[in-house]
Structure 1
Amino acid sequence: MGIKFRLTVMNFLQYAIWGAYLTSMGSYLVGVGLASHIGIFYAMQGIVSLFMPAIVGIIADRWVPAQRLLGICHLLAALFMGAAGYYALATGEGVSFGVLFTLYSLSVAFYMPTIALSNSVAYCVLEGSGYDTVKSFPPIRVWGTVGFICSMLVCDAAGFQTTYMQFVQCAVLGLVLGVYAMTLPSCPVSRGGERKSLVEALGLRAFTLFKQRKMALFFIFSMLLGVSLQITNGFANPFITSFRDIPQFASTFGANHANALISLSQVSETLCILLIPFFLKRFGIKNVMLMAMLAWVLRFGLFGLGNPGPGVWMFILSMIVYGVAFDFFNISGSLFVNKETDVAIRSSAQGLFMIMTNGIGATIGTLGAQAVVNRFVYSQTDAEVMVAGWSTSWLIFAGYALVVALVFALVFRYRHDPKTVGDVR
């Protein structure tokens, strides 16, 4: 069996685990009376991302081969997610927030580091087999998104998106990958030589970049835009599913198969990656990131104006623009950091970019979005009033994204030179 195929299987399972619950957990929480806690469940992913990937990375660098540690982390994450599923099964609608959140948090704490760890394993194995990682890894990584989509669709088709079974699906996939990872070629550890401190691994040395006005503005706006990253993951499914309580939408495909509808976002994400080199060369990094910000405005605004009946085209268009919103910001931003920082702190700078976006920004975003949704949606009891509250909430999120985009356009200065764009490919 070829090594590329084996790594493809690894990536497929890596993101299939996440896809089992990431876009549907909110609907389950609504069903068991924990709607007001959706934000903290999703914020936990950002909180653990502030420190767990760095700690696990140090362990992989110094003591435990990366592929073995990948397997251990997945087995532990699966154990706690399976425990969450069993607890939900045993208690039915009497689920306690404290118990479920604790088990879920422990699972996420071990899962989130595996995203970076799986990349490290792929790079190590490809290099050890004589492959060029720049050419060989992207076609392997794209199967991770395929795995995410397939897992979402299985969750939808099996009727798991509003039940505890999504946790069980996640746990089973985690167990499979945990065992499978142990069979991958060994990655060496570095027991001597230069070692990164925890401060370096966390990317804290890169905070010196805040002395440069351009980089300070970039990281601040990265955090402000990072606020948008997890909002639809946490709230899109409960929003679309809520239309089932209104007779005129109760039998529509979208209201009953929200995950299938949302999966179009991941399809768009996969395709939009291919557009980035062209757009960077043609428009420059500032304009590409501005496009991402405006795409977030459309992403939220179309949710606020659409419905799963005659207005379903707005939902579909919202899914399509997601690829631009997510990829043009995350990938282009990462490329900007790579181009504008000294090689000595480049890895730390990338770590800082992740902290500002997926750590601080996404955590603030999900908790802030929860407060808005609690105010306009979950404070109501009538189904139609709740849907109207959802619309108001999405338009508030769109307004926020628009303000960030306008301020970014006015204050961020970056001169585009098409001749040097190759430096950031």
Structure 2
Amino acid sequence: MNLAIRLKLSTMMFLEFFIWGAWFVTMGTFLAQAFSATGVQTGMAYNTQAIGAIVAPFIIGLIADRFFAAQKILAVLHILGGVLLWFAASSADFDSFYPYILLYMLLYMPTLALVNSVAFRHLPDPTSQFAQIRVLGTVGWIVAGVVIGNFGWESKNALHYTFQMAAVASFGLGVLSFFLPHTPPAANQGPASLRSILGLDALALLKDTRYLVFFIASILICIPLAFYYQNANLFLNAVGVESAATKMSYGQVSEVLFMLLLPMFIVRFGIKISLLVGMAAWVLRYVLFAYGDAGDQLWMLILGIVLHGICYDFFFVTGQIYTNYKASAQIKSAAQGLITLATYGVGMLIGFTLAGVISDKYTVEGAHAWFNIWIIPAAIALAVMVLFLLSFKDEKVRADQIQH
């Protein structure tokens, strides 16, 4: 691969996920510190991700895929996003903060597909090279957490700096995007239709009973997942864990390690066991959070964080691999879009809403009953796991069938 292109694509991925990790992890703590936000308000703020995931196919399908070069759309979205993040940092209250973050996520979520599109188009061998580029995104997320922890912004009630840091990085990526390799729309695009934009051709997969069970389980498991994104940093700071954002980055480190093990595990044990291991990790993580503390039981909290690699890779990455395996060549992209919309869109929308309601129910005069807040998603994850165990018939795949 051309070294200059490799460096540009790697920097693109690093900044793409540095920006997201810079504010998303600690937003719940920021809202509590800056605005004394309720659980429902925090859920609304995190739900902007789900809304963005639902709207993203329209932006990609109607604009980026048909009329403009991907790198130019990426540049414009990130420059506008930088402006919105900067204003979000200086918001006086939740009512003024929310419109900025909603508009921002409507612009940011489509960029996740755009960076992949740019990378895939310019890698000579995407199957073997994409992971080498994409891992820089995980490194970016880790670095963001380390920076926040080292500056002590959580303990100093100074988390508005996270949005400013993300804004500067967003401006930087916006400028860099103009210098990325030219990625024009694919030639011979037919007229756009709502069905093609939303990837509804992939609904044919749901006629397969096995895939239907997996699809439903994917939506349901995103409900407890939302509790982690929304409450974990707030919880760790509330119970007295030092440099919580830095410690949460351990989860991304484990994500990289387990990603390397996943293909071998799938070939050896099959899709069903891999997915069940991911679900079981969610149950265990929340039980650890329910019983852990910042004293003698700190190891339980750290282990719960480190389990992120299994939680994410063994369910969500396995799910992407399974979707790719089940879909025909004509609908592979549509199928990935559909499962993303279902999980990060519909599933997370339900999850963040429920997490906000549960958080308020178990909060009295600003004090959270964290045991109750964590044991509920543990129970939900356990129920989904049992449902999946009883309903899903396993499928074995060969090593050559799990390549993206």
TM-score (norm 1): 0.89
Letter in 1 for 2:141: F
**Aligned residue runs from structure 1 range 247-396, under 5 A:** 255-377=241-363, 379-381=364-366, 383=367, 386=368, 389-396=369-376
**Aligned residue runs from structure 1 range 14-33, under 5 A:** 14-31=16-33, 32-33=35-36
Question: How far off is 1:141 after superposition?
Answer: 0.7
Aligned equivalents of 2:147, 2:61: Cα separation in 1: 32
Matching of residue 158 in structure 1 with residue 161 in structure 2: no
Matching of residue 113 in structure 1 with residue 117 in structure 2: no
Letter in 2 for 1:361: G
Question: How far off is 1:172 after superposition?
Answer: 0.7
Matching of residue 402 in structure 1 with residue 402 in structure 2: no
Matching of residue 238 in structure 1 with residue 234 in structure 2: yes
Matching of residue 48 in structure 1 with residue 81 in structure 2: no
Segments of 5+ residues of structure 2 without an aligned counterpart are: none
Of the candidates 34, 37, 49, which is equivalent to residue 34 of structure 1? 37
Question: How far off is 1:193 after superposition?
Answer: 4.1
Task: Pick which of 112-121 and 153-162 moved more.
Answer: 153-162
Percent identity (aligned):
35
Aligned equivalents of 2:273, 2:311: Cα separation in 1: 13
Letter in 2 for 1:423: Q
Question: How far off is 1:370 after superposition?
Answer: 1.2
Structure 1 residues 191 and 274: CA distance shift in structure 2, 3 A: closer
1:338–1:350 Cα contact (<8 Å) kept: yes
> Which residue in the other structure is 2:400 paired with?
422
Question: How far off is 1:57 after superposition?
Answer: 4.1
Of the candidates 216, 221, 226, which is equivalent to residue 222 of structure 2? 226
Instruction: Describe the superposition over 1:30-57 as per-residue Cα deviations: whole angstroms up to 9, x where unpaired.
Output: 1121132111111110112112244234
Question: How far off is 1:195 after superposition?
Answer: 4.8
Matching of residue 206 in structure 1 with residue 199 in structure 2: no
Structure 1 residues 235 and 82: CA distance shift in structure 2, 3 A: same
Aligned equivalents of 1:132, 1:344: Cα separation in 2: 20
Letter in 2 for 1:422: D
Instruction: Describe the superposition over 1:128-156 as per-residue Cα deviations: whole angstroms up to 9, x where unpaired.
Output: xxx21111211111011001110111122
> Which residue in the other structure is 1:250 paired with?
none
Instruction: Describe the superposition over 1:197-248 as per-residue Cα deviations: whole angstroms up to 9, x where unpaired.
Output: 332121222223333322221111110112233321211011111124xxxx
Of the candidates 5, 9, 12, which is equivalent to residue 10 of structure 1? 12
Instruction: Describe the superposition over 1:315-347 as per-residue Cα deviations: whole angstroms up to 9, x where unpaired.
Output: 111122110111111111111111112222222
Segments of 5+ residues of structure 1 without an aligned counterpart are: 245-254
Letter in 2 for 1:376: Y
RMSD across aligned positions (CA): 1.6
Letter in 2 for 1:207: L
> Which residue in the other structure is 1:125 paired with?
122
2:147–2:246 Cα contact (<8 Å) kept: no
> Which residue in the other structure is 2:78 paired with?
74
Aligned equivalents of 2:56, 2:166: Cα separation in 1: 20
Aligned equivalents of 2:348, 2:213: Cα separation in 1: 18
TM-score (norm 2): 0.94
Question: How far off is 1:118 after superposition?
Answer: 0.6
Aligned equivalents of 2:207, 2:25: Cα separation in 1: 38
Aligned equivalents of 1:135, 1:190: Cα separation in 2: 23
Aligned equivalents of 1:183, 1:159: Cα separation in 2: 35
Aligned equivalents of 2:395, 2:10: Cα separation in 1: 39
Aligned equivalents of 1:328, 1:119: Cα separation in 2: 21
1:53–1:116 Cα contact (<8 Å) kept: no
1:53–1:112 Cα contact (<8 Å) kept: no
